[in-house]
Amino acid sequence: MKVKVKRLNNSLITDLQLLFEEIPGKVLFHNEHGLRHPIGIFNVSSSRVMKAFQEILDEKKKIVNFDYERDAYNQSLREAEELLSADISEEERTKLHHKILTLKDELKQLSKKQSEQNRLLLNKVKELLDSLMSFIDDTYHIMKTLFPVSEVTDHIIFADKWMEKVDKKLIKEYKNRLKEYRDFLAPIVNKIKHNHGSLNLIKFNTDHGEILGYFIEGLDNNGALGTDRIIHKRFRNEDT
């Protein structure tokens, strides 16, 4: 059965959402597959992406710049250590030793705060990457709802492979349209999930303010930690 639906969209709601509302129930087979209605699949998947974006923005607002505080501690530490070499009494020397230990402990606590802050933000970034990848995968589940279970006799777990059995040409064209974006996203997600790739925060200070970003941690040929060379291609023989 073929059903043509034409929808003109002038709102913030996506064309795909509006299309789902127009699809008659008689051409849907989500119950056969044990899947949600296509609107349900789309809403659950897209809301996860939007929530992940929002949580990154919320976490970014909480970020405290510890640079000035760290600089102040380091300056006080340098001054205290320089005074140790001066001709001072034992009492003053004892006080300086105590001050140095206190400053080092405070610097350590500051470092812990920053590490925890970075960890929370990077967890939100990881969730965004995962949710974007899941959204792509869920589009194949949406497609499945338009075809009865009897279309494919083989037991196939993955929705995209199941759809290839239904209409290989269609799925090939669809994957080609997604290729540029998916080929950028998938290696990052897979590297984190399967190859112990860690996210690391990076900060750029520009004329327009501070910009936060992330990179995938990896090992170079000598085993030193740096950027992953598969994800971050070298440029002019230098790491990026």
Residue pLDDT, tens place only, 222-231: 888 888 888 9
Tens digits of residue pLDDT in 43-76: 999 999 999 999 999 998 888 888 889 999 999 9
86 residue type, one letter: A
Residues paired with 238 in a beta bridge: 235
Per-residue pLDDT, averaged over 19-27, amounts to 80
Short-list 226, 219, 220, 173, CA closest to 200 = 226
Identify the residue with better confidence: 237 or 136: 136
Range list of H helices, the chain: 15-22, 30-33, 38-62, 67-84, 90-144, 159-166, 168-194
Q: What number is the average pLDDT over the span 146-174?
A: 94
Which residue, 218, 45, 202, 129, is CA-closest to 37? 45
Residue 2 has a pLDDT of 60
pLDDT band for position 171 (50/70/90)? very high
Query: What pLDDT shows up at residue 74?
Result: 93
Residues 196-231 pLDDT 10s: 778 999 888 889 888 889 999 988 778 888 888 889
Q: What is the mean pLDDT of the chain?
A: 89
Three-state SS for 212?
strand
Name the residue with higher pLDDT: 26 or 4: 26
Q: Tell me: the pLDDT tens digits for 105-154?
A: 999 999 999 999 999 999 999 999 999 999 999 999 999 999 999 999 99
Instruction: Tell me the C-alpha distance between 167 and 148, whole Å.
Output: 13
| Long-range pairs for 106-111: beta carbons < 8 A, 24 or more residues apart | 106/73, 107/70, 107/73, 107/74, 107/77, 110/66, 110/69, 110/70, 110/73
Instruction: Report the alpha-carbon distance of residue 8 to residue 19 in Å, rounded.
Output: 10
**pLDDT for res 229:** 86
DSSP state of 208: T
Percent of the chain whose predicted confidence (pLDDT) is above 90 = 61
pLDDT at 5: 56
